[in-house]
Amino acid sequence: MKKTLAILLALAMTLALAACGGNNATANTPADPAPAAPADPTPNVPETPEEKDYSGYTIRIYSNSNSTERTTWLINEAKDAGFTISIDDNSVISGDTAAIQAANENKDGDILFGLNETRWSQVVSGTYENLALLDWTPTWASEVGEYAYPNQAYGLVIQNVLMLYRNDELGTNGQELHFDHWADIVDCGYSWYRQGKVGGTTNANINSAMLYAFVDPASPAGGISIDGWKTLWKYCENGNFTGDSYGFDPLNRGDVQVATFYSSSLYGKIDAAGEDSANPLKGALEPENWALVDIADGTYYIAEYIGVLDKAGRSEEETEAVKAFAEWFGSADVQAAWGEEFDSYPCNQSAASILYPDGVPEIYTLKNFALSKVEGTDMTYAEYVAAHSSEWTNIMTNLGFYWADASGAAAEPDWDALDWSVLTQSKEA
């Protein structure tokens, strides 16, 4: 499949040369991904226009989707397509907060991609004084459906967080796990992995999933009931942190029986699981010794987007190059190649049909409670998270959630004596 996608990548360059036009999408909140249409065995490649080399301008990119592998791949593929780009890997910029802050402070960015609805809603609304988006509508805008801020930013990758368990002798020994809520993990009777720090996009999404059952718009504790914070504390206190970045590796080794992970990379990790464990997880699309926890609520989805920044002093010709890059990167063939290489699911449904001609993988068919309306408000849960995320981070930081070293574990708070008006504020405030 990678050979086929490499060929399609070369063809995709023609799309970059038509950087204007296309249909607008009409919403800015994520929806459950629709099943991909059957793949057309013959790529629909437009007539080739006069080729243009955009490599004379270095396109500055800021992103949190910037592992060394991703940045190396993107730099090389962009070069082959006629673009010169500059992007820092995660040894320089790590996480969505760092990416958005660097872009805002440096004021030299051309492209912003990755992040999620929380950050993109802030960019669109003008939260960051030095970041403004250029009006831009790619030719593939209609392919991403509701994953769009019309004329400003368009979806690239759909992500969600997952709860997995081993069902072999190192796990539940055949017992199926069914929860009503994510937070039910604290009473599941099995060992689980929890993260070791407050920050990070995936960690924040796991917390959003854990807190969903405890939404209370009237609560002074960041709009979450006190029982929600008690439960999250129990999740930290009784969970296992083994020093791993995420929950896949300890589950793969058999150190824990239940763990959380993110959808992108899951199948690839399982394919390579035997390299890191004597008792690996087996079977990617058809699991052999693991399963998804059946959670009635569903899970928390986000989408990652791409937008063209309105950079001061950039010439019209340079702006044309930036738009052409964004057009190329979000196109079906390139997003299919990106998805194949990094085990991610594209917003672009034409790309999804190339990757998965037999239908949507199970991990992307789960119910999406990010879109559920929060009772007593006019917000979806994704919007509610965006409105309260800074308060939640402050609460967890101030109370000492997610200690990495068990010997340095914070004492459980006296929940009845807490001043939430202080705890929801940053320590620097």
pLDDT digits (tens, 9 = 90+) for 369-415: 998 999 999 998 988 998 999 999 999 999 999 999 888 899 999 99
Summarised one tens digit per residue, pLDDT across range 162-179 is: 999 999 999 999 999 999
Summarised one tens digit per residue, pLDDT across range 57-75 is: 999 999 999 999 999 999 9
| Cα angle value 132/135/140 (rounded, 5°) | 125
DSSP 8-state symbol, 180: S
Rounded-to-integer distance, Cα 285 and Cα 311, Å: 43
DSSP string, 26-37: --SS--PPPPPP
State residue 378's pLDDT score: 94
State residue 325's pLDDT score: 98
Burial class of 315 by CB neighbour count within 10 A (0 to 12, 13 to 18, 19+) = exposed
Token pair for 47:
């007539």
CB 33 within 8 A of CB 158: yes
CB 59 within 8 A of CB 83: yes
Q: Is the pLDDT of residue 429 over 70?
A: no
Tell me if residue 254 falls in helix, strand or coil: coil
Percent share of the chain, pLDDT over 70 = 88
Q: What is the mean pLDDT of the chain?
A: 89
Report helix angle 68-80 to 2-16, nearest 10.
Answer: 60
State residue 19's pLDDT score: 43
Task: Please give the biggest Cα pair distance in the chain.
Answer: 70
State residue 407's pLDDT score: 86
Rounded-to-integer distance, Cα 106 and Cα 102, Å: 6
153's CB contacts (< 8 A; 6+ apart) are: 112, 120, 123, 124, 133, 305, 306, 307
Rounded-to-integer distance, Cα 375 and Cα 412, Å: 30
The residue among 96, 159, 94 whose CA lies nearest residue 123 is: 96
State residue 57's pLDDT score: 98
Q: Can you say whether residue 145 is alpha, beta or left, with left for phi > 0 and alpha for psi between -120 and 50 degrees?
A: left
Token pair for 402:
């997610």
Asked whether the CA dihedral 400, 401, 403, 404 is positive or negative, the reply is negative
CB 323 within 8 A of CB 144: no
Q: What's the average model confidence in pLDDT over 80-109?
A: 95
Burial class of 341 by CB neighbour count within 10 A (0 to 12, 13 to 18, 19+) = middle
CB 81 within 8 A of CB 338: no
The residue among 180, 365, 162 whose CA lies nearest residue 258 is: 162
Lowest-pLDDT choice from 113-122, 329-338, 410-419:
113-122
Summarised one tens digit per residue, pLDDT across range 44-57 is: 333 333 468 999 99
- Kindly tell me the number of DSSP H helices and DSSP E strands found in the chain: 13, 11
pLDDT band at 2 (very low <50, low <70, confident <90, very high): very low
pLDDT band at 428 (very low <50, low <70, confident <90, very high): low
Q: What's the average model confidence in pLDDT over 264-290?
A: 94
State residue 112's pLDDT score: 98
pTM score, whole prediction: 0.77
Summarised one tens digit per residue, pLDDT across range 223-261 is: 999 999 999 999 999 999 999 989 999 999 999 999 999
Neighbours of 140 (CB within 10 A): 22
Rounded-to-integer distance, Cα 183 and Cα 23, Å: 41
DSSP string, 41-92: SS--PPPP------TTSEEEEEES---HHHHHHHHHHHHHTT-EEEE--TTT
CB 278 within 8 A of CB 81: no
